[in-house]
Amino acid sequence: MTTQPRIMHMGAFVLGAGHHIAGWRLPGAQAGAENFELLKHIAQTAERGKFDLFFLADALNTSPTMHPSMVVRLEPLTLLSALAMCTKNIGLAATASTTYSHPYNLARMISSLDHLSNGRAAWNIVAGAFPAAAANFGLKEHPEHSERYRIAGEFVEVMKGLWDSWEDGAVPMNAATGQFVDASKMHTLDHHGAHFDVKGPLNISRSPQGYPVLIQAGASEIGRDLAASTAEIVFAVLQDLQTAQDFATDMRGRVKKFGRDVGHMKIMPGVCPIVGESEADARAKLARLGEMSDAATALRVLSERLGHDLDQFDLDAPLPPLPPSGMMQGHAVTLTKLAAEKNLTLRELRDFTSAAMGHRLLLGTPEQIADGLEEWFAAGAADGYNLMPPYFPGAFDDFVDHVVPVLQKRGLMRTEYVGTTLRDHLGLPRPAHPAATAAAAAVAH
């Protein structure tokens, strides 16, 4: 592991049609979460900007009124395996569900990506924010919010146990001695829990990073505990500096509570940058996108974030009081607070959310955007950002061509990759195999 001065960690949150619901309609924009040439361009642009990771969200259901980037898309791990072949340094982060996957299959797939990419894989652990997925997996209903998190907690434990099936060097393939595998370095998990029974071992050797980098975005009470006990990157939806600082303080306190090193958890809130020649120019771009937005899709995106169907409510009235969301509690809390603080009508909240699904918006010149990013970073409220360009490729190219050089000049972003693995980029240790740790402890005594 290489020690690094504190630098801003950057993720490119890639939704094929951009994050603004109308981004794909802008002249010059390209779209398609199945458009490999576009996705390859974005991954290579992120690498040119010395980003830490390229991130793909996912859901296991669809509908024509969903956000355009989510209606049809390539399966993340399959796509990232292809992108691993046309990139060299950029981390490759896939979302995969703990509610609708099986740990044995998923552990194999993510470890395969880590092998194929020479140590650049990451896993965004989601319990699943979209209830409609249940019908695709033979379930009458989507498990309840805290039950989903209990399943997720056990799921992560099983994944780590499977990734520990083999110690380093367990498959010597020594033709001279004829020893292909060293069975003394193989470990059978034999897990029996409330939700999973998994014997193991996994049929893939220990990957370059040991474990892929673990990501989580829980913001509810139980979600924050899962993130604090497991995640090395925490994504978040945060609108103002004070709330972001409170979130960071709370999360770092929880990390300590779980006996972890706070330096091993990077908080990366989402941010949607709209770069302009001037602030007015950037605002004009946002207004143009607003004019091209489909009202039904915009209201659907807000309904998903708040966890309630909003069709029946008056758009020109304030957001009515709503019961807590059973879907994404963190998003609902952030957006409800924003609407109250800014006295927004439902229509205004809808239009705001259609830009970046409720995440922070930063508009202006490259310097102004760099200032906005530096402010939270310098205050310790963020260790980096999950960048959400409103449209591709132009808005992301603008960020890499105009904002990254400003951040690099200020010494806030790397100008060259130091290591080769995603853990190197993030300054995270490679998890030692428990057997190796035990052996080292025995020697020490």
Residues of the shown chain interacting with ligand FMN in the complex, contacts defined by CB under 6 A:
57-59, 95, 124, 126, 128-130, 217-220, 223, 235-237, 270, 328-330, 386
Q: Which three-class secondary structure state does DSSP give residue 166?
A: strand
Compare residues 304 and 398 and give the one whose CB is closer to ligand FMN: 304
Compare residues 135 and 440 and give the one whose CB is closer to ligand FMN: 135
> Which residues neighbour 383 within 8 Å (Cβ) at sequence distance 6 or greater?
6, 8, 9, 266, 267, 268, 377
Cα–Cα dist 115/86, whole Å: 15
Cβ 142 to ligand FMN, closest distance in Å? Answer: 11
Compare residues 7 and 237 and give the one whose CB is closer to ligand FMN: 237
Compare residues 42 and 237 and give the one whose CB is closer to ligand FMN: 237
Compare residues 47 and 58 and give the one whose CB is closer to ligand FMN: 58
Of 365, 168, 392, which is closest to residue 282 (Cα–Cα)?
365
> 19 to each of 176, 269, 389, how far by Cα in Å?
56, 15, 6
Cβ 122 to ligand FMN, closest distance in Å? Answer: 12
Compare residues 270 and 389 and give the one whose CB is closer to ligand FMN: 270
Compare residues 202 and 236 and give the one whose CB is closer to ligand FMN: 236
Cα–Cα dist 123/113, whole Å: 10
424, 384 contact by CB (below 8 A): no
Compare residues 237 and 361 and give the one whose CB is closer to ligand FMN: 237
Cβ 310 to ligand FMN, closest distance in Å? Answer: 18
Query: Radius of gyration (Cα) for the chain, nearest Å?
Result: 22
Sequence letter at residue 140: K
Cβ 144 to ligand FMN, closest distance in Å? Answer: 11
Structure tokens at 340: 């109250």
Q: Which residue is nearest to ligand FMN (CB)?
A: 223
Compare residues 153 and 208 and give the one whose CB is closer to ligand FMN: 153
What torsion do the CA atoms of 130, 132, 137, 138 make, to the nearest 10 degrees?
A: 140
Per-position b or e across 157-170, b if 16+ CB within 10 A of its CB: bbbbbbbbbbbeeb
Cβ 407 to ligand FMN, closest distance in Å? Answer: 20
Cβ 332 to ligand FMN, closest distance in Å? Answer: 8
Cβ 235 to ligand FMN, closest distance in Å? Answer: 4
Cβ 153 to ligand FMN, closest distance in Å? Answer: 12
Cα–Cα dist 212/421, whole Å: 10
> 230 to each of 101, 193, 266, 331, how far by Cα in Å?
18, 18, 12, 21
Cβ 26 to ligand FMN, closest distance in Å? Answer: 23
Phi, psi of 388 (to 5 degrees): -125, 80
- With vertex at residue 30, the alpha carbon angle to CA 10 and CA 21, rounded to the nearest 5 degrees, is 75
